[in-house]
Amino acid sequence: MNLESRLPHGIALPPGRMITSDEGDGDVQPLWLSDDPTAVELWSRLRAGHAASGLWPLLLDALDPHDQGFRTWGCGELWPECMSSPAQHNPEALLARWWQDYTTMDEDDDQLTAAERLAVTAPFGQAWPGRAPTRTPSPHADEIAEQYARAFLTQNPHARLGLVAAPRGADALARAGWMGPANYGNDTGTFAAVVRDWEDRFGVLVVGVGFSTLYLSVATPPSRVEEALAVAAEHFAFCPDNIWQGPHPDLASYAEGLIDLNCWEFWWD
């Protein structure tokens, strides 16, 4: 990937290198990674220039920021050849299938009883409630993303800059070969398909990615309880650990925190 020729005029990259994927025969380089922590101003300029460059900027966090390998990014623990295209998938069908999987008692499940599972997903129970209503687009999506990126870097000062050749942020997750949700699915293309849908419906922009974490800005979050509950159901289907291992005991409690919230964060155990 010839980065210099694709950069918007006047932007120079800091020292960095192309990362070679562990997958395949060693000739796949899905990601450029800066050598040092980055600044929000550079991320913002690259984000604004994405339409011309085709390079999506990511703020990348490591499993251990003090590790010289900067896992998972610096050591090439990336598997782009294993990922499907997000465009191949129906996001609603994915969410409905995952919801069914996570609300159904498994014979080997020793964590939650059937009653506990249904209590977590109340008021919907086991029946998939369908996707939340689409929100009206906001003209401030880029501004909101920059504000969130600034807050992200304040909390994660070791984060580095990554660049991925991708038509949109959601696709960058799959094209980079990120394996964050691996304990729930090995094909990041399916998760990226849902993020794509959120980009269209809520003005979501992919801002940051960690070892098993995802950070999204949200231009048009739900503003009412009913909308937030429906969004919470999508979040549970997408990343059940947000509920199962988070501070909220159920969807209703989790949904309250989504009202007018301009960022969504996910963590897969």
* Weakest-pLDDT range from 17-21, 106-110, 162-166: 106-110
- Is the previous residue joined to 123 through a cis bond, with omega within 30 degrees of 0? yes
Tell me if 110 is assigned to some domain.
Answer: no
Instruction: Count the domains in the chain.
Output: 1
pLDDT digits (tens, 9 = 90+) for 213-266: 999 999 999 999 999 999 999 999 999 999 999 899 899 999 999 999 999 999
Residue 195: strand, helix, or coil? helix
Quote the CA–CA distance of 51 and 85 in Å, as a whole number.
20
pLDDT digits (tens, 9 = 90+) for 99-135: 999 988 665 555 667 677 778 888 898 889 999 999 9
**Prediction pTM value:** 0.95
Quote the CA–CA distance of 172 and 31 in Å, as a whole number.
9
What is the percent of the chain with per-residue pLDDT over 90, rounded to a whole number? 80
Tell me if 250 is assigned to some domain.
Answer: no
Residue 17 lies in domain: 4-86+141-216+261-267
Reference 199, options 80, 91, 127; nearest CA is 91
Note the pLDDT of residue 10: 82
**DSSP string spanning 65-86?**
TTSTT-TTTTTT---GGGPPPG
Tell me if 67 is assigned to some domain.
Answer: yes
Tell me if 234 is assigned to some domain.
Answer: no
